[in-house]
Amino acid sequence: MELLETHNIRKAFKNHLALDDVSLSVKEGSIFGLLGPNGAGKTTMIRIINQIIAPDRGEIFFQNQRLKSYHTAQMGYLPEERGLYKKMKVGEQSLYLTQLKGLPYKVARERVIEWFEKFDIMSWWNKQIDELSKGMQQKIQFILTVVHNPKFFIFDEPFSGFDPINAEIIKNEFLNFKKNGCSIMLSTHNMSSVEELCDDIVLINNSKVVLQGNLTEVKNRFKKNIIELKISDINNPDNIGIENIFPENFTLLSSVDNDNYTKIKIKLPDDATPNDLLNMLLPHCRVHSLLEVLPAINDIFIQQVMQK
């Protein structure tokens, strides 16, 4: 079931069309990747969903209802451009901003302390924000995004400023939110995080949707029939070389010898299958593994954005 849907969203500024007929849907209990190069329209879409600005045309539905102002209470938004009061103490500021989300003081304090203890940062309570590193400030802002237990999270470049250990902590929190039935919209240029976390994606370029769908289905759509194998015990009495076992329309892309096996990568013709490849190899060697190589989402991103 869809938690959020946008239908034919259009938004233009003075001399710039930011979004042109953009439709997307975010399923309940999923992580959705909002992708695109700088200036594609991602931030405009996020601001429209958060009702910071209004679309010129189109509709947005949240939990099957037309989006209303009260729905923002069920959302948590971490923008790319962060903003904390630098001279205000961490604990005092956290309580203040949490109460702005509609929580009474007692509940706000309980929730903030719970998250501070979870992240082992209670020692920061009486520090000023400008005493903290960028990554430490980012942790505080992450907590303030999620502390009111929203149903839907929007994170714009959430890993900026984090070292690998803290980035992994945040990724695990994303997976916990998903496990508990929440949905996440993740806007990032970190394609490895997209590969690791996202269920579905949309790619926006020059204000238009150029690609969308389930991540695995998208990768399968762009696969090039490339197979990677590990083989050993090559039986080749004529010493003709492994590359000469295959017909000309089978292209050997690489062959790397290891102590225990040879790793080969080969491109099959469009009408061939992995079974055809196995039938060719089995009389000549032992096959340890066979893997169909899917393109990285980073390569798909570049290909779709760069094509004219």
Same-domain check for residues 114 and 45: yes
Is residue 307 a part of any domain in this protein? no
Same-domain check for residues 209 and 227: no
Give me the domain span that covers residue 240.
222-297
Same-domain check for residues 209 and 226: no
Is residue 304 a part of any domain in this protein? no
Is residue 52 a part of any domain in this protein? yes
Same-domain check for residues 73 and 184: yes
Is residue 308 a part of any domain in this protein? no
Same-domain check for residues 97 and 47: yes
Same-domain check for residues 107 and 146: yes
**SS3 sequence of the chain:** CEEEEEEEEEEEECCEEEEEEEEEEEECCCEEEEECCCCCCHHHHHHHHCCCCCCCEEEEEECCEECCHHHHHHEEEECCCCCCCCCCEHHHHHHHHHHCCCCCHHHHHHHHHHHHHHCCCHHHCCCEHHHCCHHHHHHHHHHHHHCCCCCEEEEECCCCCCCHHHHHHHHHHHHHHHHCCCEEEEECCCHHHHHHHCCEEEEEECCEEEEEEEHHHHHHHCCCCEEEEEEECCCCCCCCCHHHHCCCCCEEEEEEECCCCEEEEEECCCCCCHHHHHHHHCCCCEEEEEEEECCCHHHHHHHHHHCC
Same-domain check for residues 160 and 290: no
Is residue 17 a part of any domain in this protein? yes
Digitized pLDDT (tens) for each residue of the chain, 308 residues in all: 899 999 999 999 988 999 999 999 999 999 999 999 998 999 999 999 999 999 999 999 999 999 999 999 999 999 887 778 888 999 999 999 999 998 999 999 999 999 999 999 999 999 998 898 888 899 999 999 999 999 999 999 998 888 899 999 999 999 999 999 999 999 999 999 999 999 999 999 999 999 999 999 999 999 999 999 998 877 765 555 666 777 888 888 988 888 888 898 999 998 899 999 998 888 888 899 999 999 999 999 999 998 75
Number of folded domains in the chain?
2
Model's pTM, two decimal places? 0.88
Same-domain check for residues 207 and 99: yes
Is residue 80 a part of any domain in this protein? yes
The CATH number for 262's domain is 3.30.70
